[in-house]
């Protein structure tokens, strides 16, 4: 499969057919990784990490290596995007030295400028607007656990943040029934919700936005949450703890889900805040399989863009 345009910026940029092909490729890679070990032989991937990273860095570094390529990590100490050097100049330098760029940054506009200026593929490793690689791994994990995506009921409880946005985009493309529950004032971006409303019918998806967590979780096949305070918002932590208190995923809340529900979290988790130990450590939890699947999905993305 060859993806066009050249970059992987947001799930909504891609057709359902392209996205499903990526998931299928990820399944094949996971089943037989040795078959792919030389597909990107000699190719280089620059990892621009403006935010701390465990899963994103490790999965991309290991992934490109397992495909036969190699990575170079660039932190703010090296480049200071927009300060020491403009985004355009960084892009124009890197396009002459490496074969692809993964960027994990704060402002989505930085990613868009990098993709516009660089002639090589640019992959969104996370911005404040969306987190597409995470959501692709999430939907791969749901399909593994439930055997399908169409009609699966997913409840996302928490902040209407970048993860929520990508889950919404994916739900629309894959025909998922997604219910988002958020405290007042923490809804997903209105433009994202509008886009979902305009496009959901094509796949049979349904996207609902609630302020009642019980309404979202009722009869859910999947219960998903994220931290209440994302990176860069630490100054809001105490205010957010108060606003999100009744949105904790605990035994009482998940009792409203289906008996065979699975629990998901993009990690890292703040145990005792958005989720309690008895849920994240329960037999229903698939959070570490979800984390592993970042590796397989991202290898499929790398192959699609750089092979």
CA–CA gap between residue 249 and residue 157 (Å, rounded): 8
- 239 labelled catalytic: no
Q: Which of 133, 294, 296, 298 is catalytic?
A: 294
Q: Choose among 266, 299, 305, 307: nearest CA to 23.
A: 299
Tokens of 186: 């923490």
- 134 labelled catalytic: yes
Q: Which of 7, 130, 134, 276 is catalytic?
A: 134
Q: Which of 133, 226, 240, 290 is catalytic?
A: 226
Tokens of 168: 């919404």
CA–CA gap between residue 299 and residue 80 (Å, rounded): 27
- 258 labelled catalytic: no
- 294 labelled catalytic: yes
289 within 8 A of 280, measured Cβ to Cβ: no
Long-range CB pairs of 289-292, under 8 A, 24+ apart, other chains included: 289/141, 289/144, 289/145, 290/137, 290/138, 290/141, 290/264, 290/265, 290/266, 291/55, 291/137, 291/267
- 159 labelled catalytic: no
The distance in angstroms from the start CA to the end CA of the chain is 10
Question: For residue 275, what are the β-bridge partners?
Answer: 249, 271
Question: Three-state SS for 111?
Answer: helix
Tokens of 252: 């009482």
Q: Which of 12, 14, 55, 104 is catalytic?
A: 104
Contacts of 214 (CB under 8 A, 6+ apart): 253, 256
Q: Which of 130, 133, 266, 276 is catalytic?
A: 266
Q: Which of 131, 165, 240, 284 is catalytic?
A: 131
SS (H, E, C) 175-195: CCEEEEECCCCCCCCHHHHHH
- 298 labelled catalytic: no
Return the active site residues. 104, 131, 134, 226, 266, 294
């Amino acid at each position: 499969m060859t993806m066009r345009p050249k970059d992987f910026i947001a799930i909504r940029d891609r057709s359902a057919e392209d996205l499903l092909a990526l998931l299928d490729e990820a399944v094949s890679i996971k089943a037989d990784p040795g078959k792919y070990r030389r597909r990107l032989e000699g190719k280089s991937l620059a990892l621009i990490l403006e935010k701390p990273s465990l899963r994103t860095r490790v999965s991309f570094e290991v992934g490109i290596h397992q495909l036969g390529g190699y990575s170079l990590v660039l932190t703010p100490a090296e480049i200071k995007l927009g300060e020491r050097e403009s985004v355009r100049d960084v892009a124009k330098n890197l396009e002459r030295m490496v074969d692809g760029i993964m960027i994990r940054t704060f402002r989505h506009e930085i990613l868009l400028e990098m993709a516009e200026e660089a002639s090589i593929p640019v992959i969104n490793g996370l911005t404040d607007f969306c987190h597409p690689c995470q959501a692709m791994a999430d939907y791969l994990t749901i399909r593994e656990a439930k055997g399908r995506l169409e009609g699966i009921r997913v409840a996302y409880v928490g902040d209407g943040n970048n993860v929520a946005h990508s889950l919404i985009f994916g739900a629309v493309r894959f025909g998922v029934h997604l219910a988002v529950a958020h405290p007042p004032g923490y809804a997903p971006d209105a433009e994202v919700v509008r886009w979902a409303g305009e496009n959901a019918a094509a796949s049979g998806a349904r996207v609902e936005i609630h302020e009642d967590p019980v309404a979202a979780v009722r009869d859910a096949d999947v219960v998903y949450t994220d931290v209440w305070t994302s990176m860069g918002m630490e100054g809001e932590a105490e205010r957010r703890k108060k606003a999100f208190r009744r949105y904790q995923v605990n035994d009482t809340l998940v009792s409203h889900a289906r008996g065979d529900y699975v629990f998901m979290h993009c990690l890292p988790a703040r145990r005792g805040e958005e989720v309690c130990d008895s849920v994240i450590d329960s037999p229903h939890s698939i959070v570490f399989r979800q984390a592993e699947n970042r590796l397989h999905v991202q290898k499929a993305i790398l192959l699609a863009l750089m092979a």
